[in-house]
A and B are shown apart, each in its own frame.
Chain A
Amino acid sequence: MLKRWTSIGVALVVAVSLVVVFLARYAKPAAAEKTGTFVIGAITPMSGLGASWGIPQTKGLGMAVDSINKAGGVRIGDTHYAIDLKLMDSKLDTAEAVSCCHKLIEQYKVKAIFTSDSAAGVAIRDIRDAAKVIGMDSGWSRDISKGTKYQFRFQPGSYETSLALYRYIKKIDGPGTKIAVLDPDYEGGWADTNYVKSWAKKYNLDLVFSEFYTPGTKDFTPILTKLLRKKPSYIDAGCSGGDYPILIKQAYDMGYRGTLIYKGDTMVRDMLEIAGPERAFGVHATFGLLDFVSKKATSEQRAVYKKVMETVGYVNTLLFTSYDGVFMLKQAWEGSGSLDADVVCNWLRTHEWHSIARGENIRVAPEAAGIYHGNKGCATTAPVSLVQMRPGGIYESWCLEAPEWESEFHEPPKNIKK
């Protein structure tokens, strides 16, 4: 009897062992979740001149990357990639931007590089293209993406905003209205002045003054002395970054009560801080935060706006568009199932992607490699709009007539002067 049970026991042990061996050898293990990391970079002025663009951009990029990583990262196939963001301070210097670019590409092997100014964007354009690194730029000059394969302008620049603005000025003030343009002496400023000249000519506006100043100028009184003698109705200081609030202040103190134009809203905080609400009253920018603050803002946009205010404490277009730009790339990486620049860019040009800034799905337009929707003007920000400072630091936005855009929000005032 005992011998029989012993035999059965031994047989059972052998059988179980064989099963275990078989399972260990041939059974497929449960699929382990694969993880990885890739790097994106930003070359943006985080100090000195241009910090008022660069810092908001870094905030927007950081918020987007954190948000994506917390939600599981970028999923490509069965791999979840975390994004590692490398920020480089270009100091608004072209040589520095090139050096940063080489470092990001060669050392960090980045998949994309964001910039916020034309100087950097143009300087590294060919380097990025040769290395097949996707470029996301918000500088003024269209040359950033001209003739390139992988570079995109992800927010409207002077070309688009000047066009809409000057068309609007002609509509409300008539042909022959006197315009003065004052730009800093670098890539963005040169581009802006060229666009202003062409649109002023197209709309029969009288360009009475055009000059470049040295970036970093703190004393505009010599130039303003000359400019104000021309009695312009509008002073367009389109590309002036950190210099603009000083310009407003000194123009006001020298008796100018016409309309000052700044094409961008990155300076709102500085206008109030440096120029003061009284001097900033009546200053106009040509794109703002309509999407996020208007009655038509979507719940998603309102949520992003709230998050920005809680995290950063101020609002800024470049912050939002940079934030949106990272999500655009995420959709392209996931949609194309690849990190390869050729595949991703092809996907962007053939598919729609959801823009938080626009609150809708849009697609890159083929012309100028800009991120435009084919028939709705500029993408990733509000349509070209008008922002007017009011006493107390409040500013209101109206939508201007963009080339193919109908005014959807507030009705713009008949006269945009104070």
Chain B
Amino acid sequence: MDAAFYLQMTITAVVLSLLYILMASGFNLVFGIIGIVNFAHGTFYMLGATFVYWFMKSYGWSYFFAGIASVALAYGIGWLCERYLMRGVRGDILGSIIITLGLLMIFQSAAQIIWGEWDKAVPSPVTGVINIGGAFLPWETVLPMVGALVVMMLLYWFLMYTKLGLSLRAVTNNREAAALMGININFSYSLGFAIGCTLAAAAGVLIAPLWSISSTMGSTPLWKTFIVVILGGMGSLPGAVVAGILLGVVDSFVTTLFSSAAAHIFGFGIIITILVFRPRGLMGQI
């Protein structure tokens, strides 16, 4: 097996890893701040992709403009969901699970009714293929890679260097202390939830030109997100990065070298092994 073969697998691993990291970061943000498991997270991924298709198809917007509008719309929906739906079940784990599951069903069914059952496609803003020593890297694959890195850098900058980001981190660390320091907890919750949904939608926007779009496209990314989050540690953003890379590599290399069934066995095998010795995940704190 030559270098081109391994390079092709590495390219695939990078794309998958970045997608998983982006999804898991949003999920962890929500869990870290609000303490809920958002079962509708994959649905926001679907909505991001569907919105960009809708804006491009119905209004003729460019991909970039449609993408920005899509994440903005997802942000707004996320905010409204937290403000009017989640706030009433704050602290109630079962209630929050039921509501997020309900949101999953509602959004998925609504997407099916509004945009139809057929798979849809978003034309890529970039075309062409780069041949790197026999390995093929389409430009439309470079787009989600670069896009995901930009989004992650923006997230990092926001959380580390802005006042709002600092307040979110404070709430994550100690809710009561943050409230005593004058941080508006309700606002932080809504912001955190909305940003989490936005990150999922951004992943959907970035992947839309690469794959097809359907109302059920969020289910696989959701359970992959669960794997990454549990493996990396619930609420841990650095853990999401490490686990996302691990899962991306396993998915790419094991599927290519063996089979997709083997990738499932291998992937879950690693997760179980790690969790046996480290129940809180690779970098989890709870």
> Across the interface, do B215 and A47 meet the contact criterion of CB distance under 8 Å?
yes
Chain A residues whose C-beta falls within 8 Å of the C-beta of B214 in the assembled complex: 48, 51, 242
Chain A residues whose C-beta falls within 8 Å of the C-beta of B260 in the assembled complex: 185, 212-214, 217, 222-223
Q: Do A185 and B119 form a contact, CB below 8 Å, given A222-B12, A226-B256, A253-B129?
A: no
> Across the interface, do A242 and B136 meet the contact criterion of CB distance under 8 Å?
no
Bound CA span A283–B16, Å: 28
A163 to chain B, nearest CB (A): 27
B136 to chain A, nearest CB (A): 5
Counting contact residues on chain B (CB < 8 A from A), the size range is 35 or more
A216 lies within 8 A of chain B by Cβ: yes
Question: A258-294 CB contact bits vs B (8 Å, 1 = yes)?
Answer: 0000000000011001101000000000000000000
The closest CB in chain B to the CB of A270 belongs to: B119
Q: Do A246 and B211 form a contact, CB below 8 Å, given A48-B216, A211-B259?
A: yes
> Across the interface, do A51 and B117 meet the contact criterion of CB distance under 8 Å?
yes
The closest CB in chain B to the CB of A241 belongs to: B119
Counting contact residues on chain A (CB < 8 A from B), the size range is 20 to 34
> Across the interface, do B119 and A274 meet the contact criterion of CB distance under 8 Å?
yes
A103 lies within 8 A of chain B by Cβ: no
A55 lies within 8 A of chain B by Cβ: yes
> Across the interface, do A219 and B119 meet the contact criterion of CB distance under 8 Å?
no
Chain A residues whose C-beta falls within 8 Å of the C-beta of B215 in the assembled complex: 47-48
Chain A residues whose C-beta falls within 8 Å of the C-beta of B129 in the assembled complex: 253, 255
The closest CB in chain A to the CB of B6 belongs to: A225
A62 to chain B, nearest CB (A): 15
The closest CB in chain A to the CB of B137 belongs to: A253
A109 to chain B, nearest CB (A): 28
Question: B1-18 CB contact bits vs A (8 Å, 1 = yes)?
Answer: 000010011011001100
B73 to chain A, nearest CB (A): 23
> Across the interface, do A225 and B16 meet the contact criterion of CB distance under 8 Å?
no
Chain A residues whose C-beta falls within 8 Å of the C-beta of B256 in the assembled complex: 222-223, 225-226
Chain A residues whose C-beta falls within 8 Å of the C-beta of B259 in the assembled complex: 211-212
Chain A residues whose C-beta falls within 8 Å of the C-beta of B140 in the assembled complex: 253
B82 lies within 8 A of chain A by Cβ: no
The residue from B118, B121, B264 contacting A51, defined by CB atoms under 8 A apart: B118
A229 lies within 8 A of chain B by Cβ: yes
Bound CA span A47–B117, Å: 5
Bound CA span A298–B227, Å: 57
Chain A residues whose C-beta falls within 8 Å of the C-beta of B112 in the assembled complex: 47
> Across the interface, do A273 and B121 meet the contact criterion of CB distance under 8 Å?
yes
Chain A residues whose C-beta falls within 8 Å of the C-beta of B138 in the assembled complex: 253
Chain A residues whose C-beta falls within 8 Å of the C-beta of B264 in the assembled complex: 214
Bound CA span A264–B220, Å: 27
The closest CB in chain B to the CB of A256 belongs to: B136
Q: Do A245 and B5 form a contact, CB below 8 Å, given A48-B216, A212-B261, A216-B220?
A: no
> Across the interface, do A223 and B117 meet the contact criterion of CB distance under 8 Å?
no
A218 lies within 8 A of chain B by Cβ: yes
> Across the interface, do B211 and A223 meet the contact criterion of CB distance under 8 Å?
no
Question: A144-156 CB contact bits vs B (8 Å, 1 = yes)?
Answer: 0000000000000
A335 to chain B, nearest CB (A): 36
Chain A residues whose C-beta falls within 8 Å of the C-beta of B118 in the assembled complex: 51-52, 55, 269-270, 273
A17 lies within 8 A of chain B by Cβ: no
Bound CA span A218–B211, Å: 6
B257 lies within 8 A of chain A by Cβ: yes
Bound CA span A211–B258, Å: 10
Bound CA span A211–B260, Å: 9
> Across the interface, do B12 and A226 meet the contact criterion of CB distance under 8 Å?
no
The closest CB in chain B to the CB of A226 belongs to: B256
Bound CA span A221–B5, Å: 11
Q: Do A222 and B251 form a contact, CB below 8 Å, given A52-B119, A255-B129?
A: yes
Bound CA span A273–B256, Å: 28
Chain A residues whose C-beta falls within 8 Å of the C-beta of B131 in the assembled complex: 255
Chain B residues whose C-beta falls within 8 Å of the C-beta of A47 in the assembled complex: 112, 117, 215-216
Chain B residues whose C-beta falls within 8 Å of the C-beta of A274 in the assembled complex: 119-121, 212
Chain A residues whose C-beta falls within 8 Å of the C-beta of B211 in the assembled complex: 218-219, 246
Within 8 A of B (CB), among A210-253: 211-214, 216-219, 221-223, 225-226, 229, 242, 245-246, 253
A184 to chain B, nearest CB (A): 10
A341 to chain B, nearest CB (A): 32
Chain B residues whose C-beta falls within 8 Å of the C-beta of A242 in the assembled complex: 119, 212, 214
B217 to chain A, nearest CB (A): 7
B236 lies within 8 A of chain A by Cβ: no
Bound CA span A213–B256, Å: 11
Q: Do A245 and B119 form a contact, CB below 8 Å, given A213-B260, A226-B256, A255-B129?
A: yes
A46 lies within 8 A of chain B by Cβ: yes
A254 lies within 8 A of chain B by Cβ: yes
Bound CA span A306–B264, Å: 48
Chain A residues whose C-beta falls within 8 Å of the C-beta of B141 in the assembled complex: 253
B225 lies within 8 A of chain A by Cβ: no
B18 to chain A, nearest CB (A): 13
Listed A/B pairs (9) with beta-carbon separation below 8 Å: A47-B216, A48-B216, A51-B117, A185-B261, A217-B260, A225-B256, A253-B138, A270-B118, A274-B121
Residues of chain B having any CB pair with chain A under 8 Å: 5, 8-9, 11-12, 15-16, 112, 117-121, 123, 129, 131, 136, 138, 140-141, 210-212, 214-217, 220, 251-253, 255-257, 259-261, 263-264
Q: A273-B119, A274-B119 are in contact. List 4 more A-B contacts (CB 8 A).
A: A47-B216, A55-B117, A211-B259, A269-B118
6 closest A-B pairs (Cβ-Cβ)?
Answer: A222-B255, A218-B211, A222-B256, A51-B117, A274-B121, A253-B138
